Amino acid sequence: MNYYLVLLPIALVLIISKSLMKLCERLKLPSVLGMLLAGMLVGLIRLIPGQDVLNETSGAGFGFLAQIGVILILFSAGLETDLRQIKKIGLPAVIITLAGVIVPMGLGFLVATLFNGGFSALDTDHILTNVFYGTILSATSVSVSVATLKELKHLNSRVGNTIVAAAIMDDIVGIIVLSIVLAMKNPDAANVVSPWLIILKMLIFFVVIALLASGIARLFKKLDNKYPRHRLVPIFSISLCFLIAYVSERYFDIADITGAYIVGLILSTNPDRPYINSKAEMLGYMIFVPIFFANIGLTTSLSHINMDFLLFGLVFIAAGMIGKVLGCGGAALLCHYTPGDSFRVGVGMMARAEVALVTAQKGVESGIIDTSVMPFIVLLIIITSFVTPIALGYAYRKHPRHLPARKHA
């Protein structure tokens, strides 16, 4: 195969995505939107009669590079996870996280069921598809909220610490749920795999990782002490990420991104974590990550969108927003937060970004959901990116008094 054919679309995607990312930064929008739009714009080349820029070879090349990109995204997400934030808030963070996953997931399942033949059509495949739609809504991106809270000077408040801690746990729980749902879809079998077998494999995998985790952390700490801020450390880190990602997918039927995320979690305690993460992000965001998001834009199909699907998409977006506010805000109220602070926690957990797109794309690749849902995920990201800062600002103007951060048992 002539793999040089992939070079021109890669060059176009990188040039356009980097330009649009800068534009999004100026407009205070997530940079991921620039990368998605770049893919959509390059995809317009298909409308040119006789074009040979986008073909089967370039599509295969893009698909491979995109998979590397998503692994690096989750590895970096694991590295950025600060487990101390969870300890700082304690039990409320756990309760808010669980409610923030269960309620949006339940609403997503309900909406998908109503638009997918109703409860009378619920067979195994329908249940799996509808559960996956719910799984997409369980994801949270706290970056918009953190930036807003920092600007409002409330980041180091009880609400700020709670949002950060719950968002960290939300990623962990969301990745586990995603792995379970993906593992239940066996491409080599007519029916889904037994959930008990999946849970058993996951337990074995996590036990093995738990036994190795402290040894891996100590080994990398020694390596870092011997070669401080040397490229050898991030090279070995990324190599371990790829190795565990391979093992998790190949031998445990657990999504490769889960393995990558766990390696990031293990190395998140390394004193030189910022250096490792900076190199991982440099590698990822230079080539692989823009291609991953651009590939979503390239492969997104609008051909199946009719009025029924459009209505489903709009209700789905509303369920995603309402689910987080009700789930997280209601749980905060149960944990004795004031009504004002509970509302802020709910709104602060509403934004979506990379993880929602990664989840949806995994579902499309596995044949669980239709690619036509992708524009609605993008729209959900855009809407929540605008609404979250406005709602948080309003919440603090309406009820300016807030409680300082405090420790929980």
Closest by CA to 293, choosing from 4, 22, 31, 78, is: 31
What confidence tier does 406 reach under pLDDT thresholds 50, 70, 90? very low
Can you give the pLDDT at residue 303?
A: 64
116-122 contacts, C-beta under 8 A, 24 or more apart: none
Q: Is residue 9 in a domain?
A: no
Indicate if the pLDDT at residue 186 is higher than 60: no
The C-alpha atoms of residue 139 and residue 358 are separated, in whole angstroms, by: 10
Helices and strands of the chain, counted as H and E runs? 17, 0
Of the ranges 42-51, 247-256, 342-351, the best mean pLDDT one: 342-351
What confidence tier does 405 reach under pLDDT thresholds 50, 70, 90? very low
Can you give the pLDDT at residue 294?
A: 85
Of 255-264, 280-289, 298-307, least confident by mean pLDDT is 298-307
Can you give the pLDDT at residue 194?
A: 64
What confidence tier does 40 reach under pLDDT thresholds 50, 70, 90? confident
Q: Is residue 13 in a domain?
A: no
Closest by CA to 169, choosing from 147, 144, 138, is: 138
Domains contained in the chain, number: 1
The C-alpha atoms of residue 50 and residue 353 are separated, in whole angstroms, by: 36
Q: Is residue 32 in a domain?
A: no
What confidence tier does 400 reach under pLDDT thresholds 50, 70, 90? low
Q: Are 409 and 164 in contact (CB under 8 A)?
A: no
Query: For 287-291, what is the mean pLDDT?
Result: 90
Q: What is the pLDDT of residues 47-106, one digit of tens each?
A: 888 888 888 888 888 888 988 988 998 898 888 877 777 777 888 888 999 999 999 999
The C-alpha atoms of residue 103 and residue 320 are separated, in whole angstroms, by: 9
The helix (run of H) or strand (run of E) holding residue 215 is: helix 195-226
Domain ranges, residue 294: 65-398
Q: Are 296 and 39 in contact (CB under 8 A)?
A: yes
Query: For 300-311, what is the mean pLDDT?
Result: 73
- Alpha carbon of residue 389 to chain centroid: 20
pTM of the prediction? 0.76
What percentage of the chain exceeds 70 in pLDDT? Answer: 92
The C-alpha atoms of residue 152 and residue 146 are separated, in whole angstroms, by: 10
Can you give the pLDDT at residue 399?
A: 61
Residue type, 295: N
Q: Are 7 and 13 in contact (CB under 8 A)?
A: no
What confidence tier does 212 reach under pLDDT thresholds 50, 70, 90? very high
Can you give the pLDDT at residue 241?
A: 95
Q: Is residue 140 in a domain?
A: yes
The C-alpha atoms of residue 70 and residue 285 are separated, in whole angstroms, by: 11
The C-alpha atoms of residue 243 and residue 171 are separated, in whole angstroms, by: 21
Query: For 290-309, what is the mean pLDDT?
Result: 77
Of 127-141, 202-216, 299-313, 314-328, least confident by mean pLDDT is 299-313
Q: Is residue 23 in a domain?
A: no
Can you give the pLDDT at residue 190?
A: 46
Q: Is residue 104 in a domain?
A: yes
The helix (run of H) or strand (run of E) holding residue 383 is: helix 374-398
Can you give the pLDDT at residue 322?
A: 93
Indicate if the pLDDT at residue 398 is higher than 70: no
Q: Is residue 46 in a domain?
A: no
Indicate if the pLDDT at residue 242 is higher than 90: yes
Indicate if the pLDDT at residue 319 is higher than 90: yes
For residue 282, the domain's CATH number is 1.20.1530.20
Q: Is residue 60 in a domain?
A: no
Give, in order, the Cα–Cα distances in Å from 304 to each of 47, 225, 276, 301, 311. Answer: 18, 55, 43, 7, 13
Can you give the pLDDT at residue 302?
A: 65
